[in-house]
Structure 1
Amino acid sequence: MTTITIEGVQLWDGTAARGLSTLTVTAGATEGVVESIAQAGVDSGLSVIPGLIDTHVHLIGNASATPSGFLTWPLVTRPEERVLHGLAHARRALAGGVTTLRDLSADDIQFSLRRGLDAGVVEGPRVLAHGMVSMTGGHGDLFTPPAVETRGPVADGPDACRALVRHWARAGADGIKIATSGGVLSVGDKAAWRNHTGEEIAAIVDEAHALGMRVAAHAHTPEGVDIALDHGVDSIEHATVLPEAQARRIAAAGITVAPTLLINDRIAQGVGANEEQAGKAQELVASRDALLRAAVGLGVEFVLGTDANGFHVEFGEQMTEVREMARILGYGPERALQAATVRAARTIGRDDLGRLEPGLPADLVVLRGRPWESIDDLRVENIVAVVSRGRLVHGRLPG
């Protein structure tokens, strides 16, 4: 058991500012908790906030400086190497103040990485991993060129969909991801295309919920959002075109949306994208900002989800995404921070995260500035130290 004391810092605990505080945290073999918070100390000029939570990432991609193609790299890189690249991405996110990541297209690589992190074999953030259930020729399947015979698993028909959900559950998945519309980076489809039939989606969601797993739905279009809501999913990913009718339905359902702003803007600008991909993104983002801001007024709750993959959005850019959420959605500083902490924690089913209270996990960031007063202070260059699971994992603590 090790103990860390962080003295004389301005504390924002995930819900509100608590003033000048001293925190004591302990770390056991694999976990750490906040032991106490006292309203005391000599002001160090620094602040503490909970570690950020990114609810939508893709850890497995090229983390090296060697140039590669986004779609081709996984096909020419052995699984053993991909684990190391995923760990590198996870650690870059950790240094950027992100202590929890949810991977939304996971397989045995991410499951193995998560187990190693949880066991303390290697140091890194918490990782939750959702297995993808895609159909033949669907959004997930179309990341693999047709000439490549070795493909990830797909499911066609309700029984096959149930079987794939069970496969991922046995492999160690925390949840399931589906697509209820086409995608942007997948090659050869359109965002408006349907993925899976209603019967197939009903089977996936029912089986996942029966096995205690949440379902995240990739949906860019109004039709895709409606399909996802019709079948009781637990979160919406993207919702790039979100008219009033769908916004009202999401608000009434009480589920969250990860708007993935940076990645869609960059693809629309042609960054790391071919003409087809850029064109799809341009069409989607043309009306996005006004619709999303209106959705806030209708009660839609947005949370941090970057779709970071190390190619279009880097791990460590999460704070940039939060600032962009504040700008586009009209969030004040505290509401923007909550989208990346306590509210994001509820999205992933971890109400114990995203807050700093005695007895809760000790995941926190020490930084210069007060981002709950000025969101512009939420910058990687302002980070002084990161504590994950009660351990100092980046930087130096005050004193």
Structure 2
Amino acid sequence: MSVNELSGVHIWDGNAHRGVGAVGWSAGRISSVDITASAGDADLTVIPGLIDTHVHLIGNASDTPADFLSWPLTTRPEEQVLHGLAHARRALAVGVTTVRDLAADDIQFSLSRALEAGVIEGPRVLAHGLVNMTGGHGDLFTPPAVVDRKPVADGPDACRALVRRWARSGADGIKVPVSGGVLSVGDKASWRNYTDAEIAAIVDEAHALGMRVAAHAHTEDGIRRALAHGVDSVEHATKLTAALAAQMVAGGTTVAPTLLINDRIADGSVPVAPGQREIAQELVSGRDPVFRAAAAAGVEFVLGTDANGFHVGFDDQWEELRAMARVFDWDAARALQSATSRAAAAIGRGHDLGRIADGFAADLVVVRGRPWEDAGALRAESVVAVVARGRLVAGSLPG
């Protein structure tokens, strides 16, 4: 069995800087971590592969302009898989070795299996099946005149059935909207999605089948209801309050704040309808100081970009990290933790992802400089090489 080694580099292990030394790996797993000096003047640093806990792989990945909403309706599923793969590989090239798709169906499940089997190089894809009500946030991405729609579920029994269907199809988890959203057509962020009985059924059934539940929630009411029913993560959480933050800390609920996408929609730097821009502007108004206080209180914010290739690219994770450092008043090391060890724990993979340690997945990123010391240096341009599942997939390793 061949052993690969990277030596003479700084090692930042997902929690802290360990010193200068060597990392060895074999059969896709880290086999050794040797520190030869506590400090040094090495030019390169190896860190764990980044984990983006909130993406949407399926969308136009070509250079040909396409409408964000109509593209999925006019593109065959066979083609959509290839576009999803292109997006996944763009993330991989900048050091994102694991992504979690939070609106998945059989397209993403198939892509995830092919990547896991090594049919083609790409990041690890954890796919969460979307359980969505008629007229809910997810359903409103499809115009009302379209007959061939994504599955919806209404009533507790139907919700349980759809959770079971996604489990049978190979889902890693479940996503449920409990409030309205920004980009869905005719939606209002303030609209309630699902009753308490339906949310309870979804969470209970998912947990019974060993799947984590991510709840899309922008509003105070949506966040409160999601927490009351024991979801594992809240996505966006834009109207978080101090009282809800305390509940999150007590319950260990994580948050993907998706800063860039909401900021870009609000400031008009990406093309959206006027109504969508107004929704985003209202949501982000007053958000940053509340988020900063929540982070200081112990809320576990982790990297989640909501990347879709249109409003946020699949190479924007480093920019999202810089935004998180700014909003939460974090140093560079804390920002990196949110994309490595802490993100791994948030998706239930803290035992084998997000750290450079014996037995962990050999997902490694070699970058120039000392990224744990300077948040401004957290940039995609600094990436020199990417190793995923023990295989070199981008750049070249030193020596």
The TM-score normalised by the length of structure 1 is 0.97
CA distance in 2, matches of 1:122, 1:198: 42
Alpha-carbon deviations, 1:28-82, whole Å to 9, x = none?
A: xxxx011111223896511100000000000001000000111100000000000
| Compared CA separation, residues 152 and 137, structure 1 to 2 (3 A) | same
Partner secondary structure for residue 40 of structure 1: strand
Match of 1:272 in 2: 271
CA distance in 2, matches of 1:230, 1:169: 23
- Give 2:29's match in structure 1, choosing from 23, 28, 33: 33
Contact 1:99/1:125 (<8 A) preserved: yes
Paired amino acid for 2:30: V
Shift of 1:272: 2.4
- The 5 Å alignment of 1:175-254 reads 175-254=173-252
Q: What is the percent sequence identity of the aligned residues?
A: 68
Match of 1:339 in 2: 338
- The 5 Å alignment of 1:56-71 reads 56-71=54-69
CA distance in 2, matches of 1:268, 1:45: 39
Partner secondary structure for residue 68 of structure 2: coil
Partner secondary structure for residue 3 of structure 2: strand
Paired amino acid for 2:321: V
Contact 1:365/1:386 (<8 A) preserved: yes
Shift of 1:207: 0.4
Contact 1:266/1:312 (<8 A) preserved: yes
Contact 2:239/2:283 (<8 A) preserved: yes
Structure 1: gaps of 5 or more residues:
none
Match of 1:262 in 2: 260
Paired amino acid for 1:348: I
Partner secondary structure for residue 263 of structure 1: helix
Match of 2:284 in 1: 285
Contact 1:130/1:175 (<8 A) preserved: yes
107-116 or 370-379, which moves further after superposition? 370-379
Alpha-carbon deviations, 1:171-227, whole Å to 9, x = none?
A: 100000001110001111211110011111111110000000000000001111000
Paired amino acid for 1:214: R
Match of 1:386 in 2: 386
Paired amino acid for 2:289: A
Contact 1:308/1:315 (<8 A) preserved: yes
- The 5 Å alignment of 1:99-138 reads 99-138=97-136
Partner secondary structure for residue 125 of structure 2: strand
Contact 1:59/1:90 (<8 A) preserved: yes
CA distance in 1, matches of 2:273, 2:185: 10
Shift of 1:105: 0.3
- Work out the number of aligned pairs and report it: 395
Partner secondary structure for residue 325 of structure 2: helix
Shift of 1:333: 1.2
Paired amino acid for 1:327: R
Shift of 1:345: 0.3
Contact 2:20/2:42 (<8 A) preserved: no
Shift of 1:2: 4.0
Q: Does 1:165 align with 2:166?
A: no
CA distance in 2, matches of 1:265, 1:21: 40
Contact 1:272/1:311 (<8 A) preserved: no
Paired amino acid for 2:34: A
Partner secondary structure for residue 360 of structure 2: coil
Paired amino acid for 2:44: L
CA distance in 1, matches of 2:75, 2:13: 42
CA distance in 1, matches of 2:286, 2:248: 19
Contact 1:44/1:398 (<8 A) preserved: no
Structure 2: gaps of 5 or more residues:
none
Contact 1:191/1:220 (<8 A) preserved: yes
CA distance in 1, matches of 2:23, 2:249: 36
Match of 1:300 in 2: 299
Partner secondary structure for residue 36 of structure 2: coil
Alpha-carbon deviations, 1:114-173, whole Å to 9, x = none?
A: 000010001001010000000000001000011111100000011100000000000100
Contact 2:11/2:21 (<8 A) preserved: yes
CA distance in 1, matches of 2:195, 2:390: 46
Q: Does 1:53 align with 2:51?
A: yes
The TM-score normalised by the length of structure 2 is 0.97
Paired amino acid for 2:342: R
Partner secondary structure for residue 39 of structure 1: strand
